[in-house]
Structure formats: structure tokens, C-alpha cells
Structure 1
């Protein structure tokens, strides 16, 4: 398969989404360069990468690959946009690591959802992070070709998309990004300000951001959990009046926790959060009874306004 076809079929949705999410989550502007073939023997790790394994009719790894200084600049910008505060970190702190993870999860989640709509015979793993140069050799085992696309970010530097290909065999058409922000809440009665709101997300950064947005709206009785199972246990105590819950989490995903919550007889209003816009998943959650579905990202500039529309009960 030619560079152009591999780029359009596999890389284009990731690159398109990374530039769109970069703008949405940092207000930075990215521009994609022309794709080219990297020499496998000359390929070098730049210091920080978000990776997703590709399996099925395409066997390989896709990487969003940064120099550390670029990762730091983007991480600062994500935090600044999310919290409306100045960030000037000079190394990858816990906050920056969480910010970069959220950006990477958003990109991979939305991009792989685009691919899935076309019934392709390959899939992507959940994103993971590589920041140790000694780990790179294992990703190059069996790689026959590498397609690289540089992304220049105004004022921040450059990052790269690399597709490390071991084997490939498929035919597909171009996919386009869904600009929808979510499924709206049909309820109209505002949640009282003294209600207790539970925030369930495995990202500490997202929990922190949502709690700030809720506080801005006047909700100060806030609880948090970092996975679906913990959220389920809190709901069982009866202390929460409303909850926001991520879908993809470790231990128990949000849709699984939602199912268990309903089986337990709780009718607590739940708003789901996800970077994955898969309509099958949305319909599944709607069938279990939700008060809306928010597609990430949400930022300080619009987050309070967005979530205020969902703080309604029947």
C-alpha cells in the first residue's frame, strides 16, 4: 500500500483529530506536513509518545511522538485551558502527565471511533505512554516500514505521528470527524444547589476540572471516585443525588457501572462523559436511563456552561 493510502486510511483521522483537539483543548494551532517514509534502521525515540497497538488486517503501532519540550509546552497549554490558570512547568509534572494523557485519550478515542464506523477489519488498543528510550527497541521488532507525518504547533514546537507497520491488507474510504458535543438532557427541573454531586473519572485532572466547574455554578457538596466500581459503591450508600461518570475506566467501565446501578434499583440521574462518540455505546447508556451524554473535551472557557445544561432532573 502506498504512503498516500496508508496516510488517508489510518493516519488521517488521528492527525485530523489531534489538530482539532489541540485547538479545542489548548487554543494552539497545528499544521500537518507531508507524509514520508522513515527508515526503520534510522528511527529514533524522541522522548515521549502516546501509543496504540493496531491489530487485525493491519499489524503495527501508531505513535503520537513528542520531544520532551514540546510535550511540556502542550501539557502547560492543556492545563491552562482546563483551569484558566497560568502554567509554566519546565518538566513533566503529575498535572502535565495527566493533561497529556487526557489529550491523548481524547485523540485516540475519537479517532478509533471514526475507524469503527466503517466496519474495518482492524482495531486499536487503549492508549498507553512510553517515556523510556530503552523501551523503543521492542516496538521495532518485525517492522517493515514507518510512515511519518510531522505536526508543527505554533509557539510550541513539533510532534510527529508514526505508523510502524509490520503487515497490512485492507481497503477503506476516508472518514470524517463528528463535531457533535453530546446528547442533550431532556429534563428541565434544575438540580438544587445543596445537592450532592458525584464525579467519577479515572483522570484526576478531569475530576479536578469538573469539580471547579461545578463549584463555579454553586455546587459545593461534591464527591469523587476514580473508577466505576468505587462510584457504584458510593451510589449504594445513597449519599449522592446526581453523578457525572466517564465511560472508559480501569477495573469497571462507566457503562458497566451504570448497568449495575440500575440493577441495584437506584434511579440517580447520571450524565456520561467520553471522548468515544460511538452511537452504539450512547444508545446502550440511554437504554439504561441517563440524563445526557457529554463528548469530551470540555474546557474552562465553556465547561461550566456545558455542564449546566445537564444539571437537570425529571
Structure 2
């Protein structure tokens, strides 16, 4: 398969989504360079990568690959954009790790969702992170080609997309970009009372922190949290929240599964779903269990409270 075909079929959605998410989540501007073939024997780990395994007719790994200083600058910008405060961390600490994870998950989630819409003969794993140079050798085992696309971030530096190809037999395919969904609104009109108990469910502590801040700005302070769908089911059973915001993709139990369990046990608590994945089947599944809206991430500090307020309605 040529560089052009690999780029169009596999990399193009990742490149375009990363540049769009870079602007949306950091207010930074990025431009992509030309795709080229890297020399496998000379390929080196730069220090921080978000990865997704590719299986099926194409076997390999896709990496969003940073030098540490670029990752730090982007992580600080994600934090600033989510919380509206200046961040100047000088190393990848817990806050920046969560910020970079949220950015990476958004890009990989939306890109793989876009691939999935076209029934192409390969699948992607959930994203994971590599920060140890010693770990890179195992990803290069059996790799025959490396396709690289540099992304230049204005005023910051570069990051790279690498497609490490072990084998491929998919010859003729194409993809096109679709506009991301803006979300599904809450059609109710009565605002949630300010003393209502709100349950936040997300495996990202950063997302929970951001939404909690938006809720506080709106006058809601009775807030409880859960980091997984299974915990959310127990919280609904034992603490009877009046309203919920719940992520879809989580660890042990996804939000759509938790929603089904919550409805099965007889609770009609209003639930607004959160996700970076815009898959119509998933949205339809959640709607079939009764939801009060669907917010597609990311949510930024400048409009976060306004977005959340538009969903805090009952009846």
C-alpha cells in the first residue's frame, strides 16, 4: 500500500480530528505536513505517545507522538481551556496526564468512530499511553513500514502521527470527514432546583472537576461523584440523586450499560450522557433507555457553564 493510500485510509481522520480538537480544547492552531516513509531502523521514541492498536486487514499501531516539552505545553493549554486558569507546569504531573489523556481520548475516540461508520475491515483498540522509552522496542517488533505525518503547533513545536505497519492487505478504500455532532438537547423546560443532588459519573477526574466547577458557578453545590458505571448504579440505589451527568466509555461498566441497569431497577432519574464518540447506534441505544440529552465533548471553560445550564432541566 502506498504512503498516499495509508494516509487517506488510516491517518487522515486522525490528523484532521487532532487539529480540530487542538483548536477546540487548547485554542492552539496546528497544521499538518506531508506524509512520508520513516526508516524503521532509525525510528526513535520521542518521550510521550497516545497509541491505539490496529487489527484486521491492517495489523499495526497508530501513535500520536510528542516530545515531552510539546506534551507539557499542550497539557497546560488543555487545563487552561477547561478551567479558565493559567497553568505553567514544567513536567507531566497528574493534572497534565489527565489533561493529555482527555485530549488523546477525544481524538482517538472520534477518529475511530469515523472509521467505523464506513465498515472498513479493521478495528482499533482503546487508546493507551506510553511514557517509558524502554517500552518502545516491543511496538517495533515485526514492523515493516512507518508512515509519519508531522503536525506543527503554532508557537509550541511539533507532534507526530506515526502508523507502524506490520502487515496490510487492504488495497482500495477511502474515507471522508463528517462534521461532528453538536449534541442532542434536553427538550424539557423546567430548571432543576438549586438544592437538587447531582451525580457526576466519569472515569476522568479532570472532567468531573470541570463539570463540578461549572455546576458550582450555576449555584449547584449538592454534588456526588462516581468514577465508573458500576459505582454509579450503586450511588443511584443508595443515594437517590435528582439528576445525573454520565460518561459513556469507562472502565468496568460503560455508561450505556449503567443506564440500562439504572432503568431496569426502576429509577427514572434524569440522565445526560457525555461522550467524545458520536456513534449513532450508541446514541440510539441510550435514547431507548430514556435520556435527557447527549453532550459531545470537549466542553471548554468559556462556555462550560452555559452548556451545562442548557441541560439542567426536568419535566
When the two structures are superposed, what TM-score results if normalisation uses the length of structure 1? 0.99
Separation of aligned partners in 2, 1:174 and 1:138: 30
Alignment of 1:126-141 (within 5 A): 126-141=126-141
Structure 1 runs (4+) greater than 6 angstroms displaced: none
Separation of aligned partners in 2, 1:177 and 1:301: 25
The 10-residue stretch of structure 1 (229-238 or 276-285) with the greater mean CA deviation from structure 2: 229-238
Q: Secondary structure at the match of 1:210?
A: helix
In the alignment, does 2:272 pair up with 1:275?
no
Shift of residue 172, structure 1, vs aligned partner: 1.9
The 10-residue stretch of structure 1 (163-172 or 20-29) with the greater mean CA deviation from structure 2: 163-172
Alignment of 1:217-232 (within 5 A): 217-232=218-233
1:305 match: 306
Separation of aligned partners in 2, 1:288 and 1:122: 30
Question: Residue by residue, what CA displacement relative to the aligned partner does 1:8-46 show, whole Å, maximum 9, x if unpaired?
Answer: 110000010000000000000000000000000000000
Shift of residue 239, structure 1, vs aligned partner: 3.0
Q: Secondary structure at the match of 1:102?
A: helix
Alignment of 1:76-155 (within 5 A): 76-155=76-155
**Is contact 2:54-2:124 (8 Å) kept?**
yes
1:167 match: 167
Shift of residue 120, structure 1, vs aligned partner: 0.7
Shift of residue 88, structure 1, vs aligned partner: 0.4
**Is contact 2:52-2:63 (8 Å) kept?**
yes
**Is contact 1:115-1:175 (8 Å) kept?**
no
Separation of aligned partners in 1, 2:179 and 2:252: 29
2:236 match: 235
Separation of aligned partners in 2, 1:20 and 1:200: 26
In the alignment, does 2:285 pair up with 1:284?
yes
Shift of residue 174, structure 1, vs aligned partner: 2.0
Question: Residue by residue, what CA displacement relative to the aligned partner does 1:239-275 show, whole Å, maximum 9, x if unpaired?
Answer: 3100000000001100000000000000000000000
In the alignment, does 2:184 pair up with 1:183?
yes
2:11 match: 11
Number of residues paired by the alignment?
Answer: 314
**Is contact 1:57-1:168 (8 Å) kept?**
yes
**Is contact 2:19-2:30 (8 Å) kept?**
yes
Separation of aligned partners in 1, 2:178 and 2:102: 18
**Is contact 1:98-1:204 (8 Å) kept?**
yes
**Is contact 1:17-1:177 (8 Å) kept?**
no
Separation of aligned partners in 2, 1:275 and 1:180: 10
Q: Secondary structure at the match of 2:101?
A: helix
Q: Could you say what the CA RMSD is over the residues aligned between the two structures, in angstroms?
A: 0.7
2:56 match: 56
Q: Secondary structure at the match of 1:91?
A: coil
**Is contact 1:13-1:177 (8 Å) kept?**
no
Q: Secondary structure at the match of 2:96?
A: helix
Structure 1 residue runs without a partner (length 5+): none
Question: Residue by residue, what CA displacement relative to the aligned partner does 1:68-94 show, whole Å, maximum 9, x if unpaired?
Answer: 000000000000000000000000010
